Amino acid sequence: MAVEEEAGRPTWSRQIEFTLAGIGCAVGLGNIWRFPYLCYRSGGGAFLVPYLLMLVVLGIPLLHMELTLGQYLRRGPVLALTKACPLLKGVGMATVAISFIMCTYYNIIITWALYYMFSSFRSELLWENCNNTWNTANCTDRVTNSSSTSTASQQFFNFKVLERTSGVEETGTLRWELFLLLLLAWILVYLCIFKGVKSTGKVVYFTALFPYVILLALLINNVQLPGAIDGIRFFIIPEWDKLLNVEVWINAAAQIFNSIGIGFGSLMAMASYNNYNNNILKDTLTISIINSLTSIFAGFVIFSAFGYMSHLQNVPVSEIAVDGPGLVFVVYPQAFVTMPVAPLWAFLFFFMLLCLGLDSQFAMVEVMVTSLLDSYSKPILKYLKHKEFLVLIVCSAAFLLGIPNVMQVGIYVFQLMDHYTAIVSIMFLAFFEVVGVCWIYGVNRLSSNLIEMTGKRPNIFFRICWWVICPVLITVILVFSVIQFKPARYEDYVYPPWAQAVGWLIALASIIWIPLAAVHTLWVLPGSFIQKLKKSITPFSLEEDSEIPYYQQKGSIMEVIPNITIISSDKPPIQTNL
């Protein structure tokens, strides 16, 4: 079906396409390699109590907020935040910056998945034993926590896939195999999104749904293996005393926050292509609940395999469980080695990682493309003629900037960028976004937007969360993130001070837009400093028609729907009687 046009802006052909794209954006590799480990470490089944509570009071309300703003203003994060809170328009710029930085190194994970996937096309997996040219004398085919030995899968990842150097000081050479696979990964991304929502909407039918088929197949296979039930028991048996630890609650909130993708701008950008009267609450609940259920489901898949490995090698599950890339590229591949039809299960697993990674990558690239077109569509289309060329330029730039990650020093570059982007920057962005939208744009104005689009006002629960609970929780998470901050490291390697300084520069590359844009707003607004300040926290004050509320402008739905009460944050309720 052709993409419909609404006021010159494309919309999703079917609403289910946005829902699937939202699920694909939210459900990513963190659901596989982060949540199961966090759950096991934070009290097993007991962790579900703070996790689900944070989903209800933080994840769902903030996702609802972002989707509402994107769908109502019909713009990506840059212009949406500029309209909502001129003083904090830099938050929108920062979300674009952080998404672009992330997409330069996130595709490396897809590159590794492709390498493993192609390596699975053989009767014996390459990480099955220690009889290979890259193996060292201390190689072992058993799980070990000894620093003097390493497993065959560890050595395959470190010495064959990465050919990693001893540290960030030693750059090494370009890994040509990885370079070509990175190029292939970017070609896949481009082919899936170059037509915008028209092409992405079709691709997500497969990339968002097929991983669940593979997860189900893996679980059915795993639970039949000896020891699997012990691993699952290790995952879900609650340790209620862990709930007395404040860190467990902070981890639950942070996991909900990062998993759904609040503050990255991706879902806001995709929501800007929704039909104006789309039921936002339905999409919000679908995306957030499926995201959390996927995390729990993945925990059963991962820990059933850990239980099997524990049974085979007589090693406690606690010595096997890890998080991060090490789980999916080192530990979990070991489980395939002794499974029946090992190459098939290995191929399916890494193909699943490819699908999960592509969905998230689509969303991050779309943020940049949408924001550029929102702000500079006329000059861009004047010179490039077609949007497809803009997508090609964005993908090409990100590909070139990602090349350091496919050098022998790449894993250290990847870890440094991920630590200072995904951990440090995003919490500051989220804090200012919540302040800008919930307090300055206003809960009442957000409510009136929903009334105009759907005819329904958000219930009291959402309004309380937006006004009080979400800002407080975000502040607490931010404070604890600062207090508990630890410098970046990779396994036992500690980055030198100059590398940590580079990491902070990477973090500042996104955060710096917030103060710079605030200064720019105060500079361009007319009047005295106090007048500038007042206007800077007045929504739509940078627009020529800012004195006319959006819902009163020509073409508003208020022209055709009578007797609806509109509530503005700075005016009493207005009863329309058309």
50-55 contacts: CB < 8 A, separation 24 or more? 50/243, 50/248, 50/249, 50/252, 50/253, 51/252, 51/255, 51/256, 51/292, 52/292, 53/252, 54/249, 54/252, 54/253, 54/255, 54/256, 54/473, 55/256, 55/288, 55/289, 55/292
DSSP secondary structure, 69-96, as one string: HHHHHTS-HHHHHHHH-GGGTHHHHHHH
- Is 150 labelled a binding residue? no
- Is 259 labelled a binding residue? yes
Cα-Cα-Cα-Cα dihedral sign, residues 451, 455, 458, 459: positive
Phi and psi angles of residue 71, each rounded to the nearest 5 degrees, phi first? -70, -40
- Is 26 labelled a binding residue? yes
- CA-based Rg of the chain, rounded to a whole angstrom? 24
- Is 31 labelled a binding residue? yes
Q: Based on the number of CB atoms within 10 Å of its own CB, is 301 exposed (0-12), middle (13-18) or buried (19 or more)? A: buried
Q: Closest Cα to residue 142, out of 318, 337, 304, 327? A: 337
| Pure H helices in 126-272 | 152-155, 176-193, 197-207, 210-223, 228-236, 246-260, 266-271
Q: Which residues pair with residue 493 across a beta bridge?
A: 490
- Is 288 labelled a binding residue? no
Which amino acid appears at position 24 of this protein?
G
Residues 40 and 301: their CA atoms lie apart, in Å, by 13
- Is 275 labelled a binding residue? no
- Is 241 labelled a binding residue? no
Residues 330 and 332: their CA atoms lie apart, in Å, by 6
CB atoms within 10 A of CB 74: 19
Cα-Cα-Cα-Cα dihedral sign, residues 438, 270, 263, 425: negative
For 205, what's the count of Cα atoms within 13 Å in the CB-facing half-sphere? 11
Which amino acid appears at position 111 of this protein?
T
CB 132 within 8 A of CB 141: no
DSSP for residue 489: E
Q: Which residues are annotated as a binding site?
A: 24, 26-27, 31, 259, 291, 356, 359-360
Q: Which residues are annotated as a binding site for Na(+)?
A: 24, 26-27, 31, 259, 291, 356, 359-360
